[in-house]
A and B are shown apart, each in its own frame.
Chain A
Amino acid sequence: MKVDVVLFAHFSGFQPDGKGGRHARTFDLDEGTTIADVIAMLGLPDEPRVIFVNSRHAPEERVLVEGDRLAIFPPVAGG
């Protein structure tokens, strides 16, 4: 199945193509893949994260489905 993955702030350097940037990359994943699986695959640092699937907060155990957009942020804030 195809899932779009977007990474922000200092996570963007963990895109597998190594090119950084905040644009989506399309991943071809096995059915049943969870967000945690993708995080492990990317090798994201072990720190708190804020995760969205299709613009809604999602827990790491969430199973992704075809066409999802997965966005992962390190802890950020401002205002």
Chain B
Amino acid sequence: MREILRVNMSTLTISKEPLPEKWARYGGRALTSAIVFTEVPADADPMGPDNKLVIAPGLLGGTSAPNGGRLSIGAKSPLTGGLKESNSGGTAAHALGKMDIAAIIVEGVPADKTVAYALRLFPDGKVDLVPRHDLKGLGTYETVAVAKGIEASEHRYSEKVSFIVNGPAGEMGMKAAGIAITDPHGYPNRFAGRGGLGAVMGTKGIKLIAIFEEGLKGKEHADKDAFIAAVRKFSGALTTHAVTSQALPTFGTNVLANIINEAGGYPTRNFSSGQFEGVDGISGETMREITVERGGNVKHGCHAGCVIQCSRYYVDEDGHYITKGPEYESAWSLGADCGINDMDTVAALDRKCGDIGIDTIEAGVMIGVYMASGKIAFGDGAAAMAVLDEIGHGTDLGKVFGDGAEATGLHFGVKNIPVVKHQGLPAYDPRPIQGIGVTYATSTQGADHTAGYTITSNVLAVGGTVDPLKPEGQAALSQGLQIATAMLDSLGFCIFVAFAVLDMPEAFEAIHEMAAAHTGDEWDADALMQLGKETLTYERLFNEHAGFTNADDRLPKFFLEEPLAPHDVVFTVTDEELDSVHSFVPEVAAQLGIK
């Protein structure tokens, strides 16, 4: 029986309660969004006592479902002002799942703002809150090192403990702050990065959540044999599809750099060009060549049970760990968007972001905007590092930078600020790749590529093809993917399974077969899509209550007015088409009995 663990930071009390029956089919994003919708007033101050930080493994968390150990963290976002679900890898989700914890809800704020607490969950079900003032203000790596009593730089396997860690940026309440989650080696290099959830964690006074998982067993299934059969079917698909079996494990997500650049959609120097002449220096191929030469690890999963294994470590010339091999988004934001073409520089910036606990996408977009102001030059890696140092030191200017791209752009009077719902745009320009523009504009999350990854059909020829340069078909493509993604996020799947799922019907079947065999409930294709729709409905309605209207579902004007080289196109999907994306919401809201 799954339970909710409620931690009240005003009273410093901890309680457990059964997961309400109405949410029995929810996990991950469906659950974090339903809880935030239900328990957080839409007009709450995101940094105040009424906001709640909700942490949930997917419905299949704690099982052996391949790539099924992703974690959802939800709250009202200090960055967007809307309902946020930020998704991360790392080992915490499976550990929580095995403990039968459906969600941790952290509510209230401590009376004493100077405190730092560690929330500890033990395998026997005991949970406590202990003051850990020694950790206050420490970087994420040092926090974990101190907490574990080991040297952070040392390569060694973790002693069966997962950490969820807040960095100094979050402790200082910065709106671009993310929350770090440790990987199988104990490095805090997986991030629930987007939307400023680190700032929410900071208000709660929790520096660290430690989940001790020694001896925990995998979850029981309603029908074990059927579950195992579905797992085999699913992992068979993932290990067969060319993308999930070859490109991703070999080169990591950054294999995208060259193809997005070739397509003319690789945002360069604050979205002023669609191609970057220095792309090869920061591409996945180059990253692999450097790492192999230096003897670094070039293939592992971010959690046990990942069969795709897109993760890797970036190491220095002596082979010492620096950071997770920067993901495509991070290599782009800290690279091309800032005009930086050197992998070592990008990796150093990535490590710095990780250590101070700031979202790499928001950080890179922010630095690109700052560079566009002319205060520092595009391509200046040292100046970019100095910006991150300002954030880490919490200077007045650092607090502006730490609030993200929009805050920085407004402060320095920059004309083109690439944000939607106050959140920085990721690594695809919406002019030559129009489908992703629909997702950026309409997602409940603000500009977020993962929310409806149309790059599949727009560029990669996965799941069919839709011409990226034309407006036709983009709204429908984005809508379908936004629903499917919300479903995958709710079950706990890594969204990269979608590449196989979109092309292979048996992979999609295996998902509802796993859900049915694990829970004993009825699951089919329609039920999966319904789960996605319900999730989006909670998010959409919360945002409406918080004051968002269709006018917020728009791209910044410059994407509609300033053509982008090399294709010399602007974004041409109409407002009516954008407004059609959430057409299902009223009906689903009625079914759920919510307004």
A residues adjacent to B (C-beta < 8 A): 6, 8-10, 12, 22-23, 47-48, 50, 52, 55-57, 71, 73-79
Give A61 Cβ to nearest chain B Cβ, in Å.
Answer: 16
A75 and B250 CA atoms in complex are apart in Å by 12
Quick one: CB contact mask for B313-340 with A, threshold 8 Å, 1 for yes? 0000000000000011100000000000
Q: From A22, which residue of chain B is reached at the shortest CB distance?
A: B280
Contacts of A48 in B (CB 8 A): 242, 461
Given contacts A22-B280, A23-B280, A55-B566, contact A77 B258 (CB under 8 A): no
Between-chain CB contacts (< 8 Å), 21 pairs: A8-B262, A9-B258, A22-B280, A22-B283, A55-B264, A57-B461, A57-B467, A75-B461, A76-B243, A76-B251, A76-B255, A77-B248, A77-B462, A77-B499, A78-B247, A78-B248, A78-B252, A78-B255, A78-B310, A79-B329, A79-B453
B residues 245-303 in Cβ contact with A at 8 Å = 246-248, 250-256, 258-259, 262-264, 275, 280, 283-285
On whether the beta carbons of A8 and B259 are closer than 8 Å, the reply is yes
B455 near A: Cβ within 8 Å?
Answer: yes
Contacts of B455 in A (CB 8 A): 77, 79
On whether the beta carbons of A77 and B251 are closer than 8 Å, the reply is no
Contacts of A8 in B (CB 8 A): 258-259, 262, 285
On whether the beta carbons of B256 and A79 are closer than 8 Å, the reply is yes
B495 near A: Cβ within 8 Å?
Answer: yes
Q: Which of B449, B461, B567 contacts A79 (CB 8 A)?
A: B449
A75 and B241 CA atoms in complex are apart in Å by 9
Further 20 A-B residue pairs, CB within 8 A, beyond A57-B465, A77-B499: A8-B285, A9-B247, A9-B255, A9-B258, A9-B285, A12-B285, A22-B258, A48-B461, A50-B460, A57-B461, A71-B262, A75-B243, A75-B246, A76-B259, A77-B455, A77-B456, A78-B256, A79-B256, A79-B450, A79-B453
Q: From B245, which residue of chain A is reached at the shortest CB distance?
A: A75
Contacts of B548 in A (CB 8 A): none
- Contact-residue bracket for chain B: 35 or more
Contacts of A79 in B (CB 8 A): 253, 256, 328-329, 449-450, 453, 455, 495-496
B residues adjacent to A (C-beta < 8 A): 242-243, 246-248, 250-256, 258-259, 262-264, 275, 280, 283-285, 310, 327-329, 449-450, 453, 455-456, 459-462, 465, 467, 469, 495-496, 499, 566-567
Q: From B426, which residue of chain A is reached at the shortest CB distance?
A: A79
Number of A-B contacts (CB under 8 A): 93
Q: From B255, which residue of chain A is reached at the shortest CB distance?
A: A76
* Central interface residue in B248, B262, B461, by most chain A CB within 10 Å: B262
Given contacts A22-B258, A48-B461, contact A77 B280 (CB under 8 A): no
Ranked nearest first, the 6 interchain pairs of A and B with the lowest CB-CB distance are A78-B253, A75-B242, A78-B256, A76-B247, A77-B243, A55-B264
Give B301 Cβ to nearest chain A Cβ, in Å.
Answer: 15
Q: From B328, which residue of chain A is reached at the shortest CB distance?
A: A78
Given contacts A55-B566, A55-B567, contact A75 B251 (CB under 8 A): no
Contacts of A50 in B (CB 8 A): 259, 459-461
A57 and B567 CA atoms in complex are apart in Å by 13
On whether the beta carbons of B256 and A76 are closer than 8 Å, the reply is yes
Give A49 Cβ to nearest chain B Cβ, in Å.
Answer: 9
Q: Which of A22, A74, A75 contacts B462 (CB 8 A)?
A: A75
Given contacts A9-B255, A47-B242, contact A76 B460 (CB under 8 A): yes
Contacts of A78 in B (CB 8 A): 247-248, 252-256, 284, 310, 327-328, 496
Contacts of B254 in A (CB 8 A): 78
Q: From B241, which residue of chain A is reached at the shortest CB distance?
A: A75
On whether the beta carbons of A9 and B251 are closer than 8 Å, the reply is yes
Given contacts A50-B460, A79-B449, contact A73 B259 (CB under 8 A): yes
A58 and B247 CA atoms in complex are apart in Å by 21
Give A68 Cβ to nearest chain B Cβ, in Å.
Answer: 13
Q: From B467, which residue of chain A is reached at the shortest CB distance?
A: A57
Given contacts A23-B280, A57-B465, contact A74 B242 (CB under 8 A): yes
Give A76 Cβ to nearest chain B Cβ, in Å.
Answer: 4
Give B64 Cβ to nearest chain A Cβ, in Å.
Answer: 24
Give A7 Cβ to nearest chain B Cβ, in Å.
Answer: 10
Give B453 Cβ to nearest chain A Cβ, in Å.
Answer: 6
Give A19 Cβ to nearest chain B Cβ, in Å.
Answer: 13
Q: Which of A6, A22, A52, A75 contacts B263 (CB 8 A)?
A: A52
Give A65 Cβ to nearest chain B Cβ, in Å.
Answer: 17
Give B142 Cβ to nearest chain A Cβ, in Å.
Answer: 30
Contacts of B280 in A (CB 8 A): 22-23
A76 and B241 CA atoms in complex are apart in Å by 11
Contacts of A12 in B (CB 8 A): 285
Contacts of A52 in B (CB 8 A): 262-263
* Central interface residue in A6, A9, A55, A78, by most chain B CB within 10 Å: A78
Q: From B254, which residue of chain A is reached at the shortest CB distance?
A: A78
Contacts of A55 in B (CB 8 A): 262-264, 275, 566-567
Q: From B275, which residue of chain A is reached at the shortest CB distance?
A: A55
Give A33 Cβ to nearest chain B Cβ, in Å.
Answer: 20
A9 and B285 CA atoms in complex are apart in Å by 6
A73 and B243 CA atoms in complex are apart in Å by 11
Give A20 Cβ to nearest chain B Cβ, in Å.
Answer: 9
On whether the beta carbons of B256 and A77 are closer than 8 Å, the reply is yes
Q: From A8, which residue of chain B is reached at the shortest CB distance?
A: B258
A47 and B245 CA atoms in complex are apart in Å by 13
A35 and B246 CA atoms in complex are apart in Å by 24
Give B160 Cβ to nearest chain A Cβ, in Å.
Answer: 30
Give B571 Cβ to nearest chain A Cβ, in Å.
Answer: 17
Contacts of B566 in A (CB 8 A): 55
Q: From B432, which residue of chain A is reached at the shortest CB distance?
A: A55
On whether the beta carbons of A74 and B450 are closer than 8 Å, the reply is no
Q: Which of B328, B450, B460 contacts A75 (CB 8 A)?
A: B460
Give B242 Cβ to nearest chain A Cβ, in Å.
Answer: 4
A75 and B252 CA atoms in complex are apart in Å by 13
Q: From B252, which residue of chain A is reached at the shortest CB distance?
A: A78
Give A75 Cβ to nearest chain B Cβ, in Å.
Answer: 4
On whether the beta carbons of A10 and B460 are closer than 8 Å, the reply is no
Given contacts A9-B285, A52-B262, contact A74 B248 (CB under 8 A): no
